Amino acid sequence: MKLISRYTMMLLTFVVLLTTAVPVALASGTTDNSSSKKLVLGTSADFAPYEFHKVIDGKDEIVGFDIAIAKEIAADLGAELVIEDMGFDGLLPALQSGRVDLVVSGMTPTDERKKSIDFSDTYYKSKQVIMVRNVDKDKYPTMAELENAKIGVQKGSIQETIGQSIPGAKLTALDKISDIVLQLQTKRIDAAIVEDTVAAGYLDDINGLAAAVPDEEQAEAAIGIRKGNTELLAAVNGTLDRLKSEDKINQMVTDASLLMADKMDKSQNIFKVFWQFKSFYATGIGYTLLLSALGVIFGVIIGLIICLFRLHDVAILRWIGTAYVEVIRGTPMLVQLMIIYYGFSLSFGINFTALQAGIITLSINSGAYLAEIFRAGIQGVDRGQLEAARSLGMGRGDAMRYIILPQAFKAVLPAIGNEFITIIKESSIISVIGMVDIMYQASVVKNITYQGLSPFLIAAAIYFVLTFILSKLLGRLERKLSASDRR
């Protein structure tokens, strides 16, 4: 038990050190200045011209008139603006849990949302439109023709509420507007409900607007603030009042629309896309390898501890080990990630960073599978060797450490390697909380280039190269370790 406690403390210390020091070397966003006050903004940067990714002077930036407003708020507060990009449906949990100070994402202050968070005064109004393929522009002259149609909406948005009111409509609710447009282009939906200012960025030879328009009042946009934070609410409203009196918001909308209209050439081939955004993918590779490597390292430690629990003579330890394996293997990794990232914060006030939450999730998940791998390896070693070691005066702990575990580890090395390869691929799920891994960067490139296929083909190629190289290296290590067996 002392050995297990020592390993546990080492694990926790190592996680804290790595997850606070390593991001500084890999970060491509804002610089860290602990002496300055920070204003953390939560947004979903696929909602042009409100907020969207744009390459400016060779660097990826999140821009838009929402961002311009947020910068003015930060300037009035004398704070540094830190932008956290995440899925739209994750904005409210992030605000409630204290991960961000405010959310700005063209959000409509509905009565339902007001139960969870406070809203500033409205700063912009827009109307809803129906986006369709150009060949279907005359197919929907009124809203009646949308009954029983397949409609795409953004998850958790006012557009989803509108879609739910259409009789017989089959809704496809997704996080990203770009994904909804891709669904429209690939004929998986018949129409999409979006805001007029957002739709303008996607109108081209393929997409157009239908004659049908939802019979709704203009949608208002406001800034979300955590309930009870009256000081920040007053400061935000003060900045909005100033911007309105100076007529700066309309100018911000115009500037953002012009920036949005400056689209990249959609005809770029996959090689040009990769070369232009190679720095994006390089950052993603760094974080993916970091997540995967630490996930396996800590997973091995957790797996070994749980394995020893399952093989222990004490019944309660065996029960703990078995319960851990069954619960972790019986629940999706995405659910585990949501519990660790949002649940711990909302319930216990423990705010893990996206990197820390990702490493912890991958570690505890792989630990359950590795525990079973280790158990099979230990049970595969002839029990007589343990008995022989005990008869020579070795304690059970020393016998396991020096006799059984080295042989078990050698036997299960291929399975551990396979788990590492699996984690490299499964780490992509961490992108849903804003972790800047390969999949996150592929989504950013997709939003910048308006290409739905090339960015993900590049990501697939990168994953293949990583796993192929790793499998070859593990094969060489396995052959080296097994060389003595053939003598």
Tens digit of each residue's pLDDT (9 = 90 or more) over 149-174: 999 999 888 899 899 999 999 999 98
Q: Would you say residue 396 has pLDDT above 80?
A: no
pLDDT for 211-222, tens place per residue? 988 877 778 899
pLDDT at site 6:
55
If asked whether residues 188 and 253 sit together in one domain, one would say no
Residue 356 belongs to some domain of the structure: yes
Tell me how far apart the alpha carbons of residues 16 and 439 are, in angstroms, rounded to a whole number: 25
Residue 19 belongs to some domain of the structure: no
Residue 15 belongs to some domain of the structure: no
CATH at residue 135? 3.40.190.10
Q: Would you say residue 208 has pLDDT above 80?
A: yes
Residue 11 belongs to some domain of the structure: no
Residue 21 belongs to some domain of the structure: no
What's the total number of domains in the chain? Answer: 3
Q: Would you say residue 296 has pLDDT above 60?
A: yes
Cβ contacts of 322 within 8 Å, gap of 6 or more: 310
Range of the domain at 140: 128-217
**Which of the residue ranges 161-175, 188-202, 310-324, 412-426 would you say has the lowest mean pLDDT?**
412-426
pLDDT at site 171:
95
pLDDT at site 27:
40
Residue 25 belongs to some domain of the structure: no
If asked whether residues 313 and 343 sit together in one domain, one would say yes
